[in-house]
Amino acid sequence: MHKILCLLCVIYLLTVSAIKNRFEKNGITFERHRGGNYDLLTHEVLTLQSGSIADMPDAYRIYLREQNFTDMEPGTFQNLPSLKTLFVFSNKLQKIKTGVFNSLTNLTLLDLHANRISHIDPNAFDNLTSLEIIVLLNNRLTSLDSHWFELTPSIKWISFAENQLTEIPAHAFGNIKSPGPFSLIFDGNQITNIDNHAFEGLAEIIFLSLSSNKIKTVTGNFLEGLEIDLLSLKDNDIKCIDQEYFGAVFVANKTDISKNPWTLQCLTEIQTWAEQHDKTVEHAS
């Protein structure tokens, strides 16, 4: 009997404290958790308006996940001086406009994965001076804009995985000011073409992933001048690489060439060359 009473008591206390941590602002209900974590619970509109998410001085991490938001107007996020991480994944955003995030100069991580983003204004990420990681995974981007990361001097990790990119054009990151080192993730697009000058302006890359694309040939021109730790060419359509290009292609400390339709002869040549040149070329079948 005492045990049951005690349990009821605990449930009551938990409920009361959860409700106490709820508050409503501009038609949006948030729940505040320990450590400055804010979770959006309910809302009345599908478009976030100027000032919708504002004036929460201790907000360290905000979750606006799985809410079906279709749009965010400039000024949506304001006066959030402690905000470090912002999760807006699994919504229905189509466009990222200039002025939505630009005041968040302390933000280090922006996660926009699993939306329907097909357009990002060139200045959308301007002035995000602390931004290190941006996740654009699983959206509908068909092209890259070299201005996106012009004014994000701390950017290090960019994921474009699972979009609809078909090429990486010349100078795609040509305006980047961050010193890196970078990780660039392009997994699961439809990339067939990488311009010789695609990565010009980047010096050091920790991880360049081109996995699960439609690359048929590589000459390594686009890798010239880069220092790379890990390069993934996994799961593309490469049958062979001409021997004269081996030195240019296998520049990374480690290159993953698994799951390509290699000819046996070519694969053997690559493996022999790698051994002779002390390079790690991984081919897991």
Ligand X SMILES: *[C@@H]1O[C@H](CO)[C@@H](O)[C@H](O)[C@H]1NC(C)=O
Per rule CB under 6 A, count of chain residues that contact ligand X: 18
By CB under 6 A, name the one of 78, 90, 108, 127 that touches ligand X. 127
Nearer to ligand X, 76 or 189 (CB): 76
Stretch touching ligand X by CB under 6 A, among 25-33, 97-105, 110-118, 211-219:
97-105
Nearer to ligand X, 223 or 228 (CB): 228
Smallest distance from the beta carbon of 83 to ligand X, in angstroms?
Answer: 8
Nearer to ligand X, 144 or 205 (CB): 205
Residue 280 interacting with ligand X (CB under 6 A): no
216-255 positions binding ligand X, by CB under 6 A: 227-229, 253
Nearer to ligand X, 81 or 261 (CB): 81
Smallest distance from the beta carbon of 147 to ligand X, in angstroms?
Answer: 11
Q: Name which of 278, 197, 279, 190 is nearest 231 in CA terms.
A: 279
Distance of CA 136 to the CA centre of its chain: 4
Q: Name which of 217, 216, 220 is nearest 208 in CA terms.
A: 220
Nearer to ligand X, 65 or 259 (CB): 65
Binding mask 156-195 for ligand X (x = CB under 6 A): ----------------------------------------
| Degrees, nearest 5: CA angle 259-261-264 | 110
Smallest distance from the beta carbon of 164 to ligand X, in angstroms?
Answer: 23
The residues near 13 (Cβ < 8 Å, ≥ 6 apart) are none
Residue 142 interacting with ligand X (CB under 6 A): no
198-217 positions binding ligand X, by CB under 6 A: 204, 206
Residue 93 interacting with ligand X (CB under 6 A): no
Residue 128 interacting with ligand X (CB under 6 A): no
Smallest distance from the beta carbon of 152 to ligand X, in angstroms?
Answer: 11
Smallest distance from the beta carbon of 247 to ligand X, in angstroms?
Answer: 16
Phi, psi of 210 (to 5 degrees): -115, 20
Residue 73 interacting with ligand X (CB under 6 A): no
Residue 81 interacting with ligand X (CB under 6 A): yes
| Residue ranges binding ligand X (CB under 6 A) | 66-68, 81, 98-99, 102, 105-106, 123, 126-127, 204, 206, 227-229, 253
